[in-house]
Chains A and B, each alone.
Chain A
């Protein structure tokens, strides 16, 4: 095999590998969005590699990342889970803190303040409640500081492509995490006569907490398999 051919084969293989990576990240992020309770069709989530290439190739064998961006709206069930319960003290509670989500695959070999600011402006302008930015490289520390600075307008989460190659919640050692609604949380605390701070904790930066987009103060129910009891549920308070 000549040198020329060798290089061509290598290039094609690298392109294929990159395509496969993007396809896997795409599937995981769709599963993530669906698991959080947004409405997505099965066809979108379970796209095959062939269909994926067919849909997003740019003609020269590469994938166009800009076309991979997508949006989703929360389902009624999700809105109900985030809603604030009506109580005597608070007869007209505030609207649930959820809304449409936008997922963006960011291009470029370095992501700085400018990119992050632009994304935040996009989200605010199109009135998206949440934004997920997926990058292939690390974001600079300064750019990450933009996220809390714009937290009052929009909620930004960031993921690395490398972290989305597999869906961690499908691993057999990761138990099922279920987010409790505010009513369920109140009932739980009532049942066990606890204060919320007396529950075991889970950090906001925990991989599963990041996957589910948990917020400080929420409680998750963790359902484990148990040899003796069949199923064993524990609860964790997000800090």
Chain B
């Protein structure tokens, strides 16, 4: 295993410690590692299934709440449960809700619209502009109670992550933050939301993001840069005494007189000493060379 002193490997992480000796042990560890991955995936799939089952019966709150003004509790659970969903799972939820005679939008208590008459296709947008005109499958229209609910539901759908939940990793960067088109309108909730949005100084995630950006700017590619593990700390210089402007007075007059004729707008260029110093540095610091 790499210690903190060693440079970080860009190769794929091995699942077992390199120090393990016997082949059986290694095989066992490898098998366990993959078994755990599969188990994790199964757990998440079951969680999605149970969430779907719960959300079929939503919303729990009745009047005065409706789809345009959902109850804060329902909206909160909805957003939480939806986190591991992929768009496909969300579509399955819509289908299940329709089977149970509910509008496809989870926070809407109405039953979906029933198109009268036979035929498979319907014409939409007959009275508007030509570009609004579409021919739509009847089934698509029967998913929702109204146009507004369709928009609300699809507004949520596009925010879901295409990546499967078990591939997203544990880091917060991929956590889906879902926003409703019509957020609940209650005072306490608005305040809470405002507080959440408030950027507090020294926010951990933004700091990490900044270091990641910095690493990228410096041309550091590789896993260390991506997750921002190049931890740059910027510290204020401690001040011991009151600052004072530099003055010519405190330098020795004779010293200044020696180099006075070389001064160019107050700056004295130096040759020999500098070259000497550079030479010394090269000898000292060679680990960046190949």
**A-to-B contact residues, CB < 8 Å:** 110-114, 117, 140-143, 145-146, 149
Contacts and interface: CB of A to CB of B under 8 A. Distances in A.
A140 B92 contact: yes
B49 interface: yes
Contacts of B52: 113, 142
Contact of B56 (A110, A111, A114, A141): A114
Nearest to A111: B99
A170 to B, nearest CB: 35
Contacts of B98: 110
Given A113-B52, A114-B56, A142 B96 contact: yes
A114 B49 contact: no
A113 B46 contact: no
Contacts of B92: 140-142
B182 interface: no
A145 B45 contact: yes
24 contacts: A110-B98, A111-B99, A112-B95, A112-B96, A112-B99, A113-B49, A113-B52, A113-B53, A113-B56, A113-B96, A114-B56, A114-B100, A140-B92, A141-B92, A142-B49, A142-B52, A142-B92, A142-B93, A142-B95, A143-B96, A145-B45, A145-B49, A146-B49, A149-B46
Contacts of A143: 96
Shortest 7 CB-CB contacts between residues of A and residues of B: A112-B99, A142-B92, A110-B99, A112-B96, A145-B49, A113-B96, A113-B53
Interface of chain A: mostly helix, strand, loop or mixed: helix
Contacts of A113: 49, 52-53, 56, 96
Nearest to A110: B99
A140 B56 contact: no
Nearest to A117: B53
A111 B56 CA distance: 14
Interface string B86-103: 000000110110111000
A113 B95 CA distance: 10
Interface string B191-220: 000000000000000000000000000000
Contact of A140 (B45, B46, B53, B95): B95
Given A113-B52, A140-B95, A141-B92, 9 more contacts: A112-B100, A113-B56, A140-B92, A142-B49, A142-B92, A142-B93, A142-B96, A149-B46, A149-B49
Contacts, number: 35
A114 B99 contact: yes
A147 to B, nearest CB: 11
Contacts of B56: 112-114
A142 B49 CA distance: 7
Interface of chain B: mostly helix, strand, loop or mixed: helix
B237 to A, nearest CB: 61
Nearest to B53: A113
B3 to A, nearest CB: 43
Contacts of B49: 113, 142, 145-146, 149
Contacts of B96: 112-114, 140, 142-143
B166 to A, nearest CB: 15
Nearest to B49: A145
A140 B52 CA distance: 13
A51 B276 CA distance: 113
Interface string B35-73: 000000000011001001100100000000000000000
A102 to B, nearest CB: 23
Nearest to A109: B99
Contacts of A141: 92
Interface in B8-56: 45-46, 49, 52-53, 56
Contacts of A145: 45, 49
Contacts of B99: 110-112, 114, 140
Contacts of B53: 113, 117
A160 B276 CA distance: 89
A112 B55 CA distance: 13
Contacts of A140: 92, 95-96, 99
A156 to B, nearest CB: 15
Interface-centre pick from B56, B99, B100 (highest chain A CB count, 10 A): B99
A117 B57 CA distance: 14
Contacts of A110: 98-99
Contacts of B46: 149
A121 to B, nearest CB: 13
